Amino acid sequence: IFNKMLTMQGRLRVMARIRPLEMKEGGGGGQRCLSIAPGGDTIMLDFDHNGAHKFRFDKVFSHLPNAHSDTEHGIAEQVLPLALSAMDGYNVCIFAYGQTGSGKTHTMKALTSIICRKLFSSREGFKSKVSVSYTEIYNNEVRDLLRNPKDDHGRSEWGRVDKIDHNVPSLDVRTNSDGKVEVNSISVRITCAEEVEDLVRRGTEIRSTFSTDLNKHSSRSHALLTITCEVENEWAGLKYCGKLNLVDLAGSERLSRSNTEGDRLKETQFINTSLAALGNVMSALAKDQAYIPYRDSKLTMLLSDSLSGNSKVLMMTCIKEGTEEASETLCSLQFGARAKRV
C-alpha cells in the first residue's frame, strides 16, 4: 500500500451515491428525477421544466445505467486506496453528506467494515497499533460515544422520541501550544475489525437521534469515528502515524421540510451552521486559499488536522432519486459541487 496514493490525483474528491427508490407494495416506487450521463460521473436532475441540472462528480455510485457499480465491492474499489493511506501516515476524512434517509448511515456502516477488514488484513508484516475513538457533535457540543453506558443516567431513554440526557458532560475541545486541536475523548486499542464494528454499534445506540416528520431515527448529530494508525516499518526504519476519520454527518434537510420548532429548531440551526462551516472549509481548500475558516464550528475544528496540509478528503454525497425529494437533492448536489469547485 505504500505510495498507492501517488496514483490518485488531488486530495479533495467528491462522489455521489444514489439510494434506490423504495419499492412500495405492488411494485411501483414513485417517479424518479435523476439520471446519469454516459461516462458515469455526471448526474442530471430533471424536475422543474427548466431543463436538467447537471453536476459532475469524481464518481457516481448507483444502480442507474452508466453509473459506477453500487455494490460493496464497487464502492470499496474506489474508496479503499484513499482510506488505507492512513497507514502510510496520511490524515484522511470521509464524510457522508445528505438529507435524512438518503443512506448516510447505511453507507458509512458498510464503508467502516470494508475499510477495517482491509486495514487489519493488509497490516500483516508491519508492526502497528490501531486505536479508535468515537464522538458525536450535537448542538456544537462534543460527547463521547465510547463512554461507559453505566455512567450515564437514563441511557435506556436515548434514541427514544424527545428524550435526551443533558447531564452527560460534553468534552473539552482545546488548542494546544502547537496550535493543534485536542479533545479528551476515550481512545480504545483495537486488534481486529470486529472490535471496531462492535464499538460502533454500541456507540451508535447512544447517539442523539430524534423523530422528526421525516424519519423516526433522523440523526441530529454528527458522528465522528476516528481510527488512528501507528505503523512501524522495521525494514525501512520508518514510523508513521495516520488518522482516518469516518464522519456520518447530521441530516442536511432544510428547516421547512421537517416542520420543526423549539428544541428541534435549535438543533437544525446548529446543524445548518456546522454544515455551512464544513462547506466553507472545503471550498477554501479547493481554492487553495491562505485562510481556512476551521474555527467556525466544532466540526471543522475537530477535523482541522485531517482537512489541512497533505490530508485526503472524500465527501460522499448521498441522495435519493424520487421526484418528491428533488429540491433537497438539488441542495445536496449543489453542496457537493461547491465543495469541489466553486
- Contact string 103-122 vs Mg ion (x = CB under 5 A): -xx-----------------
Instruction: Please report whether residue 98 would count as binding ligand ADP according to CB under 6 A.
Output: yes
Interface with ligand ADP in residues 306-335 (CB under 6 A) = 318
Cell 443516567 locates to 153
Number of residues that bind ligand ADP (CB under 6 A): 13
Look at strands 312-320 and 91-97 and give their pairing.
Answer: parallel
CB-based burial label for 167 (10 Å; 0-12, 13-18, 19+): exposed
**Residue 149 and residue 161 in contact, taking contact as beta carbons nearer than 8 Å:** no
- CB atoms closer than 10 angstroms to residue 71: 11
CB 101 to ligand ADP: min, Å: 5
Look at residue 20 and give the partner it binds from Mg ion, ligand ADP, none, a contact being a CB closer than 5 to 8 Å depending on partner kind.
ligand ADP
Give the position of cell 453528506.
97
Residues in the chain: 342
Q: Does 159 bind ligand ADP (CB under 6 A)?
A: no
Check residue 209 for interaction with Mg ion (CB under 5 A).
Answer: no
Grid coordinates representing 96 are 457522508
Q: How far is the CB of 217 from Mg ion (least distance, A)?
A: 7
**Which of 78, 102, 185, 219 contacts Mg ion by CB under 5 A?**
219
| DSSP output for 45-61 | E--SSS--EEEE-SEEE
Q: How far apart are CA 259 and CA 322, in angstroms?
A: 20
- Minimum CB separation from ligand ADP for residue 96, in Å? 7
Of residues 85, 91, 102, 139, which one binds ligand ADP by CB under 6 A? 102
Q: Which residues contribute to the site for ligand ADP (CB under 6 A)?
A: 19-20, 98, 100-106, 215, 251, 318
Q: Which residues contribute to the site for Mg ion (CB under 5 A)?
A: 104-105, 219
